[in-house]
Amino acid sequence: MKWLSSLDRPSDRELRNVFVPKPKGFTGSTYPTSISNIRITGDPKFVETVAGLLKPIQQLEGSRTRVEINLQQTDNRDTGETTGNYALYLSIAERG
C-alpha cells in the first residue's frame, strides 16, 4: 500500500509514453519481455469503469502502432458456462 500511495497519477501523455509496443511479427509469451499489456477482469461495471481510465491510450492508434483490444465474456473453467463477468486485454503493437 505504501508503494501505491507514493505514486502520482500520470498525465494522459505520461500514460501513453510508457507503453512498450509489441514488435511487428512478435510471437510467443510477452511475460518475459518489456512489452506492455493490460488485463482487467471482473463484473461488467468494474471492467467498463476501469477501462474508462485508459481512454488516452486510444491516441496511440496511428500509422506506426495500433491498439489491440479484446473484450470477452469469461467462462467457468469447470463447467464451461459463461460467468457474466468479462476480461479486457489491451496492448499496443507495431504496424507491419
CATH number reported for the structural domain that contains residue 63 in this entry: 3.30.200
Determine the structural domain holding residue 33 and report its residue range: 9-94
User: 4 lies in a domain?
Assistant: no
Where does the chain show beta strands of DSSP type E?
Answer: 37-42, 65-75, 82-94
Number of domains in the chain: 1
Q: What is the pLDDT along the chain (96 residues), one digit of tens a residue?
A: 999 999 999 999 999 999 999 999 999 999 999 999 999 999 999 999 999 999 999 999 999 999 999 999 999 999 999 999 999 999 999 998
Q: How many helices (H) and strands (E) does the chain have?
A: 3, 3
Torsion angles phi and psi, residue 79, rounded to 5: -100, -20
Chain centroid, CA 93 distance in Å? 12
DSSP-assigned beta bridge partners for residue 91: 37, 68
**6 neighbors 76 (Cβ within 8 angstroms):** no
User: 47 lies in a domain?
Assistant: yes
Reduce the DSSP state of residue 8 to 3 states and report it.
Answer: coil
